[in-house]
A and B are shown apart, each in its own frame.
Chain A
Amino acid sequence: GQQLNQSPQSMFIQEGEDVSMNCTSSSIFNTWLWYKQDPGEGPVLLIALYKAGELTSNGRLTAQFGITRKDSFLNISASIPSDVGIYFCAPRANFGNEKLTFGTGTRLTIIP
């Protein structure tokens, strides 16, 4: 079966620092999504990527769909306290098949 690796598992940073996380897979995907989950809440969609090589920004967030279609990264610039949470990549294999596979998550903690 497909393997989906998300790294790092956790990050401890100071406010104002930039953050980078990524997901890699042994399989090819047609869509890469990035979600954020706050404590006690469900995941919320941050960015959606639909084309290989696509680079998309949403405020301080930037994500790219790898050219091989097997990976994606998410960057957060100038982190702020509300960025704390767990970030998940969620790729999808086929258009028309809505099934998402979620990465293991990256837990972001901001040190005062």
Chain B
Amino acid sequence: DAGVIQSPRHEVTEMGQEVTLRCKPISGHDYLFWYRQTMMRGLELLIYFNNNVPIDDSGMPEDRFSAKMPNASFSTLKIQPSEPRDSAVYFCASSVGKTGTGTEAFFGQGTRLTVV
């Protein structure tokens, strides 16, 4: 069974460019999460979706960040324009929304973004 698949694994871009990160959740999972990890701030939840609908985007740092989930098998996180302080590892995770049954969040391998 394939896990959460993220692409690309690494992205290096110049300041001001648009960056799009992609995620394919585990089939059948109805929750999808985007996290950002930095040394300074640790793991931060940016936004999460339930059944393709954004539920909580309070962690999205600025209007430069946007996320979409057009269908149950695909989500994107876009940064436009990118800035050096956006450099981080971005993780996508998915879960089935039935707590107490061991169906907690599974994480992808992450996308390491470097903005120069």
Contact = CB atoms under 8 A, between A and B. Distances in A.
Contacts of A22: none
A102 B42 CA distance: 8
B18 interface: no
Contacts, number: 55
Contact of A42 (B50, B56, B109): B109
Nearest to B92: A42
> Mostly helix, strand, loop or mixed at chain A's interface?
loop
B25 interface: no
Interface string A40-66: 111111001010000000000000000
A31 interface: yes
B72 to A, nearest CB: 16
A88 B99 contact: no
Contacts of A88: 43
Contacts of A21: none
Contacts of B104: 33, 45, 48
Interface string B1-45: 000100000000000000000000000000101010000001111
B99 A95 contact: yes
Contact of B50 (A92, A98, A102, A104): A98
